[in-house]
Amino acid sequence: MIGVDWGTSSFRAFRLGEDGAIRDRRAAPLGILHVEPGHFADALASQIGDWLATGEARVVLCGMVGSRQGWREAPYLPCPAGAADLARALADIPFAGARVKLIPGLSDTDAAGIPEVMRGEETQLIGTLPAIGRDGIACLPGSHSKWARVEAGRIAGYTTHLTGEAYAALRGNTILGRMMPDGPTDLGAFDQGVGRSADPGGLLHHLFGVRTLGLFGRLSETAAAGYLSGLLIGHEVRAALPQGAEVHLIGAPELCALYARVIGALGGAPLQHDADAAARGLARIGAEVQWN
């Protein structure tokens, strides 16, 4: 079968064997924001038409392609949900020459009853379940970081933190960013920011300190972005990490390494996984489908 992880800014396709192995892969900067409404079928054909031409006719999609702004909106499936639950909830999309099925996102509510949504991360989680086992905690860092609980081999629930998007907005659009040139993360400053997140006063107070440390020459321009990143990720991990928990990290290796650093510093046990969780999840969910 063919698995496609189709997100807001990128398109990644995998040709998958019966055993779930990745036989071939390709990627394009063809996220749903770059596809005109009504042209998703054309976009898919342009990317994987040659694979389909060899006779492959089973395609599974995941990600924001199933959102209101995507090809077709697939209603969220509520937690708890596992691979079989997701496979039963796939949406069929008419497409000439192949059976195209869309994995729905997952919804949940937090302890206060506020809704949660994910699209795409559920597939990465399903792809990582064999490593997590029946019960565990996983974190998917990003613009909207997810912390998921796995119970009895299913995704039991999760919470989201707007950390990555807040970082970009604060860095790009406040006085804090004026002194932050691009460059590699200064890990010493990152750790300082993580430490700062433990102080009283709250995040909004801590943010102003990024400015004053720079004003008084206690934080260099090249270090300030790392400090801000550590401060925000520190706040997230302190709020989300169950004490002493083993945390499976899924996502971009550089960002996962920063989260692993914070989780370790705060008494958790980080475990990093490779970046092919989506492909494995597409294969596992696809394997549960009755294609005939």
Q: Which residues bind its own copies (CB under 8 A)?
A: 110-112, 114-117, 144, 159-163, 165-166, 168-170, 172-176, 196, 199-205, 207-209, 211-213, 215-216, 218, 232, 235-236, 238-240
Min CB(251)–its own copies separation in Å: 17
Min CB(161)–its own copies separation in Å: 4
List, in sequence order, every beta strand (DSSP E) within 106-183: 106-109, 115-118, 136-140, 145-151, 154-161
Q: Say how far apart CA 184 and CA 39 lie, in whole Å.
A: 38
The residue behind tokens 């790009």 is 172
Residue with Cβ nearer its own copies (111 or 152)? 111
β-partners of residue 14 are 3, 25
Q: Say how far apart CA 139 and CA 207 lie, in whole Å.
A: 24
Residue with Cβ nearer its own copies (96 or 111)? 111
Min CB(175)–its own copies separation in Å: 7
Residue with Cβ nearer its own copies (128 or 163)? 163
Min CB(70)–its own copies separation in Å: 14
Q: How many CA atoms lie within 13 A of 199 on its CB side?
A: 14
Residue with Cβ nearer its own copies (140 or 170)? 170
Contact of 101 with 60, CB cutoff 8 Å: yes
Min CB(256)–its own copies separation in Å: 18
Helix axes 253-265, 187-196, angle to 10 degrees: 50
Residue with Cβ nearer its own copies (51 or 147)? 147
Min CB(170)–its own copies separation in Å: 6
Write the single-letter amino acid at 246: E
Residue with Cβ nearer its own copies (70 or 127)? 70
Contact residues for 153 (Cβ-Cβ < 8 A; gap 6+): 82, 129, 133, 134
